Every structure is written in C-alpha cells, then in structure tokens.
Structure 1
Amino acid sequence: MDTSETPRRQLRNSHLENVQNLSTPIRIPPSPMLKTLGMGTGVSVYRLDRSPRLGQIRSPWAVKKILKNTLAKKDKLFDERIVYEADILRKLKHPNIVGYRGIVKSTDGTNNLALEMCTTSLGSILEERHDEHLGPLPARHTFKMIMDIAHALDFLHTEAKLLHGDLKSFNVLVKGEFEICKLCDFGVSLPLDDKGEINFQKNPQLNYVGTGLWSPPEIVDEAEIIDSKADIFSFGLVIYETLALVPPHFGTVAELADETEIDDDEVSKENIEQDPTMDDDDVAATADDEEDTELDDTKENDDEFSLADLESAYGTRPPLPVAFQLSDDYNCIVELFYLCTNALSEDRPSARTIWQCCENNAANITTSLE
C-alpha cells in the first residue's frame, strides 16, 4: 500500500484536475498558450486555450504532462500511468465519470492526457470553506455529490468491473454550483474479477496504490482478497470531508500538533519528505505550489507530531468534529458516512444501494431545504 497522503493546504497541495474538450489529434504548443493549473508528483496540468476555428470559439483543454525533472530521472512510471489511465477512460462512458478526449505524444516522446473540463474539485471547495470558516458543505450539495459519485461507482463496479482505488475529495470534480459531480483519476485503478473481487495472491502483479488517509482497513491489514467495498470505505471518508472540511483523521492529529505548539513554520517544506510512489494525479489547485508533500516521519521526542500519528489512524472511522452543529438536513448524510465506514466490508452498502437510498430520500431532502 502506498502511504502517501494529501494533507490540508499547509501540508499538501490542492488538487485541481481541470480538463477539457478534445476530439482530434493535438500538438502541445509552448507557452503562452499553456497556462499552469497546478502541479503534482511527477506531473503538471495545463490549461490550453485554443484558437477559434472557422469562426467558432472552441472551449479550452486541460492537458496533463509529465514534469521535466521527472523525465530527467528516466522513470517510466508516470508515463505508463498516463497511458493506463487513457486506456481505461476511453472505455468509460458515463455522465458521472470525467470524459476522455485524447492522448498525444510530445516532441520528447512522452504522453499527454486531455479530458473533459470541470469547474473545480470537491477538495478545493472544502479547503476554501475551511479557510473561510464557512462550516460544512451545504447538505444539498453533499447530497448531490453522494448521488452522482455513487452512480459512477455503481457503473465502475458492476459494468466496467473496476476498483477506482484512490477515491478522495480531490478526485471528485464539480461543474458549476454542483450541477453535476464527476469521478476522475483512474491511473491506479484495478480490475475486478467475475466475483467482483481482487485476489492479490493469485495476481501478484496487481498493487493497491491509493492514498493512505483514505485507505480501507482491509488494505491496511494487507488482506489477500478485497472487493468493491474498498472504494465504499474511501467514499465514506469523502463524505466525512464534506462535514469536517479536512481530510480523514487530519483534524484529530492536528489537535496533537496544537498541543505540542508546533506552528506552520515548523511544519515546512524543509521538514517534509515526498513519497516518490505517490499517485501521479495529486494535482495542485494553484501554480504557486510546486510539489505535493507529506509529513516527515521523524520525531525529536515522543510527543512531537509526525506521520506516524496519521498512519496509526489509517483504516479507521474518524470522529465527526464537535465544533459543527449539524441540522436535521444532514441526518441521511451522517448515516451514510457511518454505513460506508463500517470496519467489515460486508457491512458496507453497495454503490447501488447508496444511490437508491439517495433517490428514496431526495424528495424529503428537497422539501426540507426549501
């Protein structure tokens, strides 16, 4: 299991996968046509504004490219993941899965991926709400996100026979004011067998990468066989994020940091160590941030805040924050959070059960919010 995480803004870069319309082979031009949307481990995402064609204005693209310093290491991992993600996405046709538009080679021989464009990511929205002290995401928006992503997961698990494998708020894209939500980033997805399972013992070439903070207990426990419910646990932690506005477990560990009086300057880039195996789609929301980072796992003493404090919480259900007073509008959301994060996979609902539950409660939610 990859133990990399995406901690909150001071300790992680935001993830913004803005991607756009591409239907014909493309050539990636140099700046100024390319505008940086963000950077992540090994990759960067650029907005490409296209010139009008035949008098028609064409929508921009967002193109995922491998960073030059990554290419200098001659590590083919990131290029292979882009090709792998493209192979998966071109087969996935669903309104709640980000649309594939094309893949093209740069002059240096590396591959670039272009996708449908969305406004922003759920993770970026939650970070902004946290920084502006706005409280939990409005229930109607969370409810919409749950329904849309549950539809995407149902399609993945039952028709495409895939485990997403890295579900978190930054891999949920949002169009407009939650007009529609879409699942993205399939570079580490895994195939499910006819039973809807992954048998690692029979398939040693398969490896769950994911992101540590969102990993289910069966991954932490290194189970030989997992199923689609691994995604459901991670999805439950995405629901948690909409309530707590921080990644799972991070709020609790941050309190430990406050108790030891560690400030932002102490937890700085100099004290942060990057995991080179981190999923290549952890893309920043701003161009000012240059790298995804994680906490250094060294301690000066037993009380100092470290990565070990986070790792000890992997695969568990984080407590809901007591600072927020949730109204009755959140009852269904909180219930789904608890159901999805049950320790045993068989006790978690399927994606289909989740969206059916949402549909059954949609009228009540809408009425209560009017």
Structure 2
Amino acid sequence: MDTPRRKLRNLHMENVQNNSTPIRIPPSPMLKTLGHGTGVSVYRLDRSPKHGQIRSPWAVKRITQRTRAKKEMVYNERIVHEAAILRKLNHPNIVGFRGVIKTPEGIDTLALEMCSTSLGSILEERHDEDLGPLPAKHTFKMIMDIAHALDFLHCEARLLHGDLKSFNVLVKGEFEICKLCDFGVTLPLDENGEISFQKNPHLQYVGTTLWSPPEIIDEVEIIDSKADIFSFGLIIYETLALVPPHTLELDAAFNSSNNTMDMDSSQELPQRKQLSYDNDDSLTATTTMPKDTTPAEESIDEEDDGDDDGDTDVDEDDTKENDISDYSMTHIEQAYGTRPPLPVAFQLSDDYNCIVELFYLCTNALSEDRPAARTIWQCFENNAANVATACDVSSD
C-alpha cells in the first residue's frame, strides 16, 4: 500500500517541477514581515496574477541578515533540511511546500503555503486581552487536526517532528483548519518507530526545551514518537493557561506590581510576547529591534498549488536580550520535562473535561503511558458529536 502512494507522490512532484515557472522574490524591505524564528525571518509574498487569475500569497522563509553576518549557517542548513522533508509530505494538516532556491552566496529561500496566523499568536492576544482559555471548540479542532498530522508523520512518513509548540501550529480563518509547520529539526524514526542516539550519534534532538519531554531532559539513549506526544500535551496546556509551559509563575510575576524577583527595578517588566522561547536551550526576555533587510532579489521555481492561506513563524530573533533573573531561570529549569500545573484562576466548563483529560494523558512521565496520535484523533472523533453539542450549549 505504501509503495504505490510514494511513487504517485514522486511522480506528482516531478510533474510540478517540470511545469514550474520562475518568479522573482523582491528584497525583504518590499515584503511584509510575518514573523521571526531562531535565526530566520518569514515574509509574505504576494504573487502577480497569471493569465488574468488572482493567485494566493506565499510565505517565504530565509535566514536573517544578522544570522548571515554571524555566519551561523546551521539555520540555513535547517531550511534545506525542511525543504527536503516538505517535498515528500502531502497531508491537509501539514503546511504545503511551494518551492526553494539557492542564491550564488549559498543562501536558501523556502516558499510555503500561507495560513492566517499561528496558534501561539492567537494565545498571546487572548492573554493580553484577558479573554480566558481558548474556546473548547477551537481547541478540539486543533487537537483533531494536529493529531491527524502527527499520525501521518509518525506512521507513514516515519518522522519525529521534534519541535512541537503553539507557534508551530498554523491556523486558517476561524479555526477552519490547523496545520503543522517548521520541520527544520525533524528526526527519522526506525522501523520500530524509535530513535537510538547510541546507534546514530549524528542525530540530535534540537527542540525547544520548554516543550521537551522528560526523556530528552534525562538524555535517554532511545526515544520514540511519544516524545512528540508529550510536547503536544504542552500545546494543549497553552490553550488553557495562555502562557508557555513552566512560565506561569514567571508570567504572574512580570504582571504583578509587587514583583519580588531578583530583577532590576529600573527595567520595564516584559510582557508575555516579549519572552523568547528558542530551540537553543535559552529563555530570555526581549525587546524588538529593527527588522532585517535583504538587498538582493531572488528567483524561485514556482510550484502549482491549491487553495492556500497563511504561514507565520514564531519567536523574535532580531532582538535585544535582557537576562531573566537567576531565581527565575533556576525555577524554570527544575520544571523542564514535567507536567506543569494548570492555572487556578480560570473556571473551566464541562466541555473542557476531555481536553484536560487529554492534557494529563499526553504529559505522562513514561512514554508508554502516553496515547499514540492515532488513538487521540480516533477517540476525539468518536466523541465529536457530544463535544460539539456541549460547546454549542455553553455558548448559548
């Protein structure tokens, strides 16, 4: 069953590449910035009409001018790796690959499907506006869609995403569909669905530490696809707490006028969206600096695409860093790889029961005690009618 599908997918990609049309990517200042990741920026590319027909925009991703100046080419290598991975993935809940081009200087630009925004951005806005947890019906939709994506990734593509967090979940419209993005640090799973770091010393789990499972924190020699499930559970936590895992007390301190942490009282306390959660084992408070500029215009081979909508990326890279206090960092580091406590401030209605239960199941300390992605979407699908009814009743 797998071989014919793989052949058909490869034939499709060959046909797309043979029928591709070169386009021009203008300099970065002429593009709308969608977001920043670790060492990269993401821009919106509005394409010119073709044969009189309006074409959907793309998101283009490349390393920043600052990263190039530092010659930190590992981030460009991740873009190359992500492009190679996305070429082979074809799933409605995984962001679509559109094309890639390398400049004479060796810098790669990746073109992706566009989505409206990211889950992380949505949660930031809810937090800043004190709106409370994400509505249960939206969280339910996110869980279903991303569980489908993970099932495909783990069982068919044989890949571990390795960096699941709310900013790597894209959202189209009013949660019409959710898509998984950012495949720059994925790892191959063997025939048993595992990764042996002892047998494959060249492999390294790079994911963001706040969302990392206990087996990564403990540096065990063999992990499996359930590492993604723990991180997925922490995304569910984010929809309830509206802050990244292990930062609830830190967030409360930042927003308290009676802050007693060891911080310079002359500094303005950063808000949630000014915290930088990078996959380099660092957590810093940040203040946005001027955006990156890229002088050279680039060309890229266009690939035929269907209906596409928005991509956005995550954490701010071109920033000025303010050290978080030693007390705060020690508190957070001790919590890495554990199940964070749910906030007590929010009163959750009954339609959140299955969501909270799944959060606890996914964040079990032992890998074997966590559900597989397929089990998650199948269970939620079986209960979809009851959940939808509960959500409708609670909204009346």
TM-score band (shorter)?
0.7 to 0.9
Q: Which residue of 2 is the match for residue 355 of structure 1?
A: 377
Q: Please give the alpha-carbon distance, in whole angstroms, between the structure 2 residues aligned to 1:206 and 1:266.
A: 41
The worse-fitting range, judged by mean Cα deviation, of 27-36 and 351-360 is 27-36
Q: Does 1:317 align with 2:344?
A: no
Task: Look up the match of 2:328.
Answer: 306
Aligned residues, how many? 339
1:260 corresponds to 2:260: yes
C-alpha distance 168-293 of structure 1, shift in aligned 2 (>3 A): farther
Alignment match of 1:215 (pick from 206, 212, 216): 212
1:126 maps to what in 2?
Answer: 123
Q: Partners in 2 of 1:138 and 1:149 — Cα distance?
A: 17
Rounded Cα–Cα distance in structure 2 between residues aligned with 1:201 and 1:290: 33
Q: Distance in 1 between matches of 2:116 and 2:247?
A: 26
Match for 2:163 among 137, 146, 166?
A: 166
The 8 Å contact of residues 31 and 43 in structure 2, kept in 1 or not, is answered as: yes
> Is the 1:296–1:307 Cα contact (8 Å) retained in structure 2?
no
Judged with a 3 Å threshold, the aligned counterparts in structure 2 of structure 1 residues 76 and 50 are, in CA distance, closer, same or farther, namely same
Shift of 1:74: 2.3
Aligned to 2:145: 148
Greater strand proportion: 2
Shift, 1:40, TM fit: 2.9
With over 3 angstroms needed to count, the CA separation of the structure-2 counterparts of 1:307 and 1:352, relative to structure 1, is same
Larger Rg: 2
Cα offsets for 1:317-365 (capped at 9, x unmatched) = 0011000000000000000000000000000000000001110110101
User: What do the CA deviations read for 1:106-145 (whole angstroms, capped 9, x no partner)?
Assistant: 3533110011110000000000000000000000000000
> 1:38 is matched with which residue: 27, 35, 39?
35
2:351 equivalent among 329, 345, 356: 329
* 1:111 and 2:108 aligned: yes
Whether 1:54 aligns to 2:55 is no
**How much has 1:38 moved relative to structure 2?**
2.2
Question: Does the 8 Å contact 1:48/1:60 carry over to 2?
Answer: yes
- Check conservation: 1:297, 1:308, Cα contact below 8 A: no
Matches within 5 A, 1:162-311: 162-255=159-252, 258=256, 259-260=259-260, 262=263, 265=267, 277=280, 283-284=313-314, 291=318, 296=323, 299=326, 305-311=327-333
- Residues 210 and 244 of structure 2 are in contact (CA less than 8 Å); yes or no, is this contact kept in structure 1? yes
Tell me, yes or no, if the aligned pair for 1:150 and 1:354 is still in contact at 8 Å. yes
In structure 1, the residue corresponding to 2:364 is in which secondary structure?
coil
Which residue in the other structure is 1:341 paired with?
363
Q: Which amino acid aligns with 2:381?
A: E
Q: Relative to 1, partners in 2 of residues 1:275 and 1:317: Cα closer, same or farther, differing over 3 Å?
A: closer
Letter in 2 for 1:313: A
Give 2:304's aligned residue.
none
Letter in 2 for 1:48: L
- 2: CA distance, partners of 1:276 / 1:93: 26
Identity level (%) = 73
Q: Quick one: distance in 1 between partners of 2:278 and 2:117?
A: 25
- 1:21-80 deviations in Å (ceiling 9; x for gaps): x96443322256422222233211111122222221122221112111211222321111
Cα contact 1:79–1:110 (8 A) shared by 2: yes
CA–CA distance in structure 2, aligned partners of residues 121 and 272 of structure 1: 16
Cα distance between partner residues in 2 of 1:158 and 1:122: 25
Identify the residue that residue 302 of structure 1 maps to in structure 2: none
CA distance in structure 1 between the partners assigned to 2:322 and 2:231 by the alignment:
21
Alpha-carbon spacing, 1:102–1:194, altered in 2? closer, same or farther (3 Å) = same
TM score, norm. by length of structure 1: 0.85
Letter in 2 for 1:49: D
Select between 315-324 and 35-44 the one with higher mean Cα deviation: 35-44
For residues 277 and 64 of structure 2, the distance between their equivalents in structure 1, rounded to whole angstroms, comes to: 15
Structure 1 residues 227-265: Cα deviation after superposition (integer angstroms, max 9, x where no partner): 000000000000000000000111033345655155693
Between structures 1 and 2, the one with greater helix share: 2
1:71 maps onto 2:98 in alignment: no
Name the CA distance, whole Å, in 2 between partners of 1:308 and 1:282.
Answer: 31
Q: 1:162 to 1:357 in 2, by over 3 A?
A: same
Paired residue secondary structure (1:127): helix
Structure 1 pair 24–333 and aligned structure 2 pair: CA distance change class (3 A): farther
Please tell me the root mean square deviation across aligned C-alpha atoms, in Å: 2.7
Q: Map 1:7-26; keep pairs closer than 5 Å.
A: 24-26=21-23
* SS at 2:110 equivalent: strand
- Which residue does 1:15 correspond to in 2? none
